[in-house]
Amino acid sequence: MMRHTHFLRQRGKMLGGLVLLAVLTGLPLRADEPNPSRAFYNTFTDEEEMAMGRKAAEETEKQLPILIEPLLTAYVNHLGQKVAKESHRPQLQYSFKIVNTDAVNAFSLPGGFVYVNRGLLEFVNNESELAGVLAHEIGHVVAYHSMNDVARRSLVDQGMYQLQKAGLVNDQQMADMMQRYGGPMLLFVDRKFSREEESEADMLGMYNAIRAGYDPQGLVGFLARLSQFVGNPSLVEGLLMNHPLPGERVKALRAELREHPAPSGLEKDSIAFRAARLQLKALPPAPPPKKQP
Ligand SMILES: [Zn+2]
């Protein structure tokens, strides 16, 4: 697939820029750190993507219980912004919100709308784990995973329309095909990512977390703990469904870190994280789940 191989091809081109950046930030960045670009068929601009994401976010927030706790939301949003600023798409207007449910999960919508379940905030051990998860979700946005998908579907829709206009398909055939290939596109919440997309979001997320000053063992430790739940139905089921194969992903990230060790002295935890956790504990329990992503 284009987006998974292109950074290998761009390795040479990127070398100069990244070496300069490494010098500026003092981080030992690898020359082939993934830096994805839009798929060639994805012609949506950032503005269009953000508008689409905003629409999807409005729909999502009608369906899900968003936790309205200004201090907690401010903490998660602040951490998210700090990470997003160091991502490969810092120009997007990111937002980070908490969903008031115990299921351990997180997801992102195109344009930078990121949601973290209350259950995940309770599951992570420290701030670097949370930063790693947020960075992973940002990684899906950075790599255009959902938007490339939307672009593909929209191409199919346009193709269908042309066929219908040319009289090559009738209305019923058109409707059937739309159902199969096109149709409503704002189903991002249930979007299942492929193995390649997960690895790409992990790799992007890990480097993003390092750039933001966080210990990459945060994401690794989180995934390692998650892998203990594989095959064991539990609260983390949703997360495993949307983000499969944590065991393999841990191996890949550890191998990467062996080859390209992260600088020492990166942040593991913070007082703000501990304070947020105490505040979380003091809240009334989450409402019983209805339909969860
Ligand atoms: Zn993911």
Mind listing the pLDDT tens digit for each residue in 198-246?
999 999 999 999 999 999 999 999 999 988 877 776 777 777 777 778 8
Q: What is the pLDDT of residue 98?
A: 98
Q: Which domain holds residue 202?
A: 45-282
The answer as to whether 203 is a domain residue is yes
pLDDT > 90? residue 258: yes
The answer as to whether 2 is a domain residue is no
CA–centroid distance, 112 to ligand 1, in Å, is 14
The answer as to whether 104 is a domain residue is yes
* pLDDT confidence tier of residue 160, bands split at 50, 70 and 90: low
* pLDDT confidence tier of residue 276, bands split at 50, 70 and 90: very high
CA–centroid distance, 181 to ligand 1, in Å, is 23
CA–centroid distance, 187 to ligand 1, in Å, is 15
CA–centroid distance, 250 to ligand 1, in Å, is 13
CA–centroid distance, 134 to ligand 1, in Å, is 10
Cα distance between residue 51 and residue 198, in whole Å = 25
CA–centroid distance, 193 to ligand 1, in Å, is 6
CA–centroid distance, 173 to ligand 1, in Å, is 35
CA–centroid distance, 243 to ligand 1, in Å, is 5
Which residue matches tokens 């095959």? Answer: 231
Of 171 and 200, the one with more pLDDT: 200
pLDDT > 90? residue 188: no
The answer as to whether 20 is a domain residue is no
CA–centroid distance, 277 to ligand 1, in Å, is 24
pLDDT > 60? residue 55: yes
CA–centroid distance, 2 to ligand 1, in Å, is 19
Task: List, as ranges, residues with CB under 5 A of the ion ligand 1.
Answer: 201, 243
CA–centroid distance, 163 to ligand 1, in Å, is 36
CA–centroid distance, 244 to ligand 1, in Å, is 8
pLDDT > 60? residue 70: yes
The answer as to whether 7 is a domain residue is no
CA–centroid distance, 197 to ligand 1, in Å, is 7
Q: Count up the domains in the chain and report the number.
A: 1
Q: What is the pLDDT of residue 183?
A: 46
CA–centroid distance, 140 to ligand 1, in Å, is 7
Average pLDDT, the chain: 82
Retrieve residue 169's tokens: 């398909």
Cα distance between residue 92 and residue 138, in whole Å = 10
pLDDT > 60? residue 95: yes
* pLDDT confidence tier of residue 6, bands split at 50, 70 and 90: very low
CA–centroid distance, 170 to ligand 1, in Å, is 39
CA–centroid distance, 198 to ligand 1, in Å, is 5
CA–centroid distance, 146 to ligand 1, in Å, is 11
The answer as to whether 204 is a domain residue is yes
Q: What is the pLDDT of residue 185?
A: 42
The answer as to whether 9 is a domain residue is no
**What are the Cα distances from residue 256, in Å, to 150, 202, 234?**
31, 11, 30
The answer as to whether 15 is a domain residue is no
Of 272 and 29, the one with more pLDDT: 272
Taking alpha carbons only, the member of 202, 208, 181 closest to residue 256 is: 202
**What are the Cα distances from residue 155, in Å, to 44, 149, 152, 178, 181?**
12, 10, 5, 12, 10
